[in-house]
Amino acid sequence: MKLQSVVSALALTLLPLTSTGALAANKLVVSPVLSSPKAMISSAGDLNKYLQSATRSASPLGALSPNGRGRFLASLSFNQRGLTGFRYDDLQAELTPTQIYQIFKSVWGAA
């Protein structure tokens, strides 16, 4: 699938939760932040707890290669309200749009 299609699908998944979104250098910057009452992870601390408790096979993040997963997780940025941005290039290269959606639905509560 082409990069533009995957990015569009991902952006459409996130945009209902935000008023705007901007793409820059393979990083989706969510503005205002992606926050949802259903979000399991809304901070770096929550992310660390999730990664410690979730098994690789049980988490939708397990669909990424170890290197891709590491790069994606390292790219996540948060502020006091939740997720503010992430790099999408490894998601785009390794996953289907459905798998990408599952990550954001399961982990961040995207609709």
Q: Which residue has the higher pLDDT, 7 or 73?
A: 73
- pLDDT single digits (tens) 35-73: 445 567 889 999 898 888 877 667 889 999 999 999 999
Q: What is the pLDDT of residue 20?
A: 42
Q: What is the pLDDT of residue 29?
A: 53
Q: What is the pLDDT of residue 69?
A: 94
Nearest to 14 by CA among 33, 42, 41, 1: 33
Q: How many angstroms separate the Cα of 5 from the Cα of each of 18, 62, 66, 73, 96?
A: 20, 22, 24, 22, 10
Q: What is the pLDDT of residue 107?
A: 78
